[in-house]
Structure 1
């Protein structure tokens, strides 16, 4: 039996990731092994990997600039001001009704902020270390189960980008669109959100389940964390500048269809507003870029991996092998694609980085099975999102844990990863399967 280089490369990459080797190194070793196994020379593998990296440059730069923009929004003081106001208003009353009202308000506010962090105010996970730690003592006082907060934030970090074509959603859907272009399959960009409408309902269903399961009180040890009781004052001008920067980012991205220029517009407004010294802004901008740059590097590496896999010319053989295994059964084929997507994304930890890898395999395989382009979009988008909701290496789980575990009372695996994995992945599989069957 002939060994398929693509299959070996993917398995090596997944195993190394699961053993906690750095994701970038795992991707490169997987690509190198697959390329050499297929008969490519070492020089050819390296040159192909390097050339293919360029395909992810726009996405990587978008991530970096959005990180810088998020840091500038934080530096303006608006987030500290909002947190202070929330805490003060919530501590005025202490009756059972008021406590319930406070709890509901907290959950709704965190849900809204999490959703907005992906599109309207594209700061991604940067809001979590700013907003969550000051609220931990209040969570403890109200006996809020932090698994509820982790799943609420998890919803806000994932649901918007798979459905709405703005902010990170624009990046996610652009990666899907580019993957279809590379496979020479014509699709309309605005058809992507339509294909993801049914799978995204899995997140809505999961959120409802999370609210039911984790609404019960849970006690935590109250450990003192760094918390500013005094509410910071915020003058009108910084508020105006921040609002204009956010609005400009949204408008420019809408008209240019580029997250890079959208983020640049917001950044430039901060710099030319005269609000702060350019030297101070530059320091904050670089800090923000550094926070998100690693994700960009992973995406670049994933594109390099996909490029090498395409160059092996063994994807077609693997597709035919998978088709033989499934016997042409559409239901079995869809389930297999979801399982593969789940495992790959769990290993890499980013749906954004996973899409180029699984799309290079799923598109030809799906066509062989007779799936429509819309069904393939749903399968690829859902398969990518599956690992994002629960992977220990995903920023969608690492972010919430970073904020909730400041006092050491929140476990990353038990309290963030497992709840997000179970609450969202089962509904995602069900709704994603429905979408693939009916589209």
Structure 2
């Protein structure tokens, strides 16, 4: 039973690396976990489907955010932003990558829209990337940094939610810790991601890369189109008002679905989007974000199989008999966190699961509350970058693959795994040792 998590995640990973469909890979992994736990195929599928409801809110919010993104692009305001970026940053690869990382970082804290900005901003820039002979893997790494590093280090926006989950996980299992202590504890692992970003930009992907032949664009996705002669008009002001209303509603009610609906309704009421175009906007939004939503649903079902069968708990219990050495315990717990999060695909969903299992072990081993927070937070974040089922990788791919020239596994997941999980692991282990 204790090897169910490792074996099922390995099945998923190997299938994905062989370019097997991500959704089907997760389904096969969930069935594998069920069979290894003593269930039959039918019961495994039933348990997976029952667990999919846990991500229904997230999946629907992403669909509506995708439609909102398409609606915003319809107004042409995206072209203004893209033209500005082209005018200022064309030919400056390093600055372009750092700027993209910065914009992505703002999406987590200052303007918490998460991955919704990617299908708005990235597709119109693809031709610019190709003209600059920029390696799209570097762009994926820059975007993933902004989607992940801020919530690890900064207790604001999504970071406040992530840090709150760590605090609740510790306090509910017998370890007292404050928000400030949690922030300090997570700064060290977060610095590992900074190192990974700089290595990618200045060393790994510094050389020019010849672009692939662009496939003929037969898509009706309006988010991939841009205009060079567009000027700022009244409809763009109303679009900004709609974006502001969506953001305010999202923050007040802490609900992405309500925020996206508010934005869409506002664009209709302002007559920025003609009513007759709404079907096309929704269709393009589903096309843009539908795959991400289904992957998240299936990953939630996979997580339910692992949790309900006791596979995760059995694996963690084995670590209690391995050693009484803190360095070894920290190393093993981080490895477990890596496997669990790669399979589940969400660090936010992983924290409550592993906190209940890790905190008692950390207390018994004599780790301080800050060291425990670093271990739990890092273990939860490990694998998020690099996981085929994570929105931190699915988001960048949704934008970079708009022309069909970017592979989710080899161009997003593998590079982000190498550049972020390795330094996260090292810096998280150091944090557990020094705090």
Would the TM-score normalized by the shorter structure come out above 0.5?
Answer: yes
Label 1:229 to 1:305 Cα distance change in 2 as closer, same or farther (>3 A): closer
In structure 1, the partner of 2:12 is 17
Contact 2:47 2:301 in 1 (8 A): no
Contact 1:118 1:160 in 2 (8 A): yes
In structure 1, the partner of 2:220 is none
Q: Distance in 1 between matches of 2:34 and 2:363?
A: 25
Higher mean C-alpha deviation, range 206-215 or range 273-282: 273-282
For structure 2, list consecutive stretches of 5 or more residues without a partner in the other structure.
16-23, 218-223
* C-alpha deviation, 1:353, in angstroms: 4.6
Deviations for 1:124-152, whole angstroms, at most 9, x for unmatched residues? 44544554444344334434343332322
Match of 1:238 among 198, 215, 235: 235
Match of 2:30 among 9, 27, 48: 27
Contact 2:47 2:304 in 1 (8 A): no
Q: Distance in 1 between matches of 2:100 and 2:44?
A: 49
Q: How does 1:121-132 map to 2 (within 5 A)?
A: 121-132=111-122
Q: How does 1:230-379 map to 2 (within 5 A)?
A: 230-231=227-228, 233=230, 235-278=232-275, 280-281=277-278, 284-285=281-282, 287-288=284-285, 291=290, 292-298=292-298, 300-301=300-301, 304-305=304-305, 307-309=307-309, 315=313, 319-325=316-322, 327-379=323-375
Label 1:411 to 1:224 Cα distance change in 2 as closer, same or farther (>3 A): closer
In structure 1, the partner of 2:221 is none
Query: What TM-score results when the alignment is normalised by the length of structure 2?
Result: 0.76
Matched residue of 1:387: which SS?
A: coil
Higher mean C-alpha deviation, range 226-235 or range 108-117: 226-235
* C-alpha deviation, 1:433, in angstroms: 1.6
For structure 1, list consecutive stretches of 5 or more residues without a partner in the other structure.
92-98
Deviations for 1:392-417, whole angstroms, at most 9, x for unmatched residues? 45443344455446667656555544
Q: Distance in 2 between matches of 1:113 and 1:74?
A: 17
In structure 1, the partner of 2:376 is 380
Label 1:323 to 1:278 Cα distance change in 2 as closer, same or farther (>3 A): same
Is structure 2 residue 153 aligned with structure 1 residue 163? yes
Is structure 2 residue 108 aligned with structure 1 residue 118? yes
Is structure 2 residue 107 aligned with structure 1 residue 80? no
Q: Distance in 2 between matches of 1:33 and 1:215?
A: 41
How many residues align? The count is 416
Matched residue of 1:430: which SS?
A: helix
Q: CA-atom RMSD, angstroms?
A: 4.2
* C-alpha deviation, 1:323, in angstroms: 1.4
Query: What TM-score results when the alignment is normalised by the length of structure 1?
Result: 0.75
Contact 1:69 1:266 in 2 (8 A): yes
Higher mean C-alpha deviation, range 279-288 or range 241-250: 279-288
Q: Distance in 1 between matches of 2:53 and 2:174?
A: 18
Label 1:391 to 1:47 Cα distance change in 2 as closer, same or farther (>3 A): closer
Q: Distance in 1 between matches of 2:129 and 2:267?
A: 34
Deviations for 1:59-88, whole angstroms, at most 9, x for unmatched residues? 555545444443433333322332234335
* C-alpha deviation, 1:25, in angstroms: 5.3
Contact 2:78 2:226 in 1 (8 A): no
Q: Distance in 2 between matches of 1:436 and 1:84?
A: 46
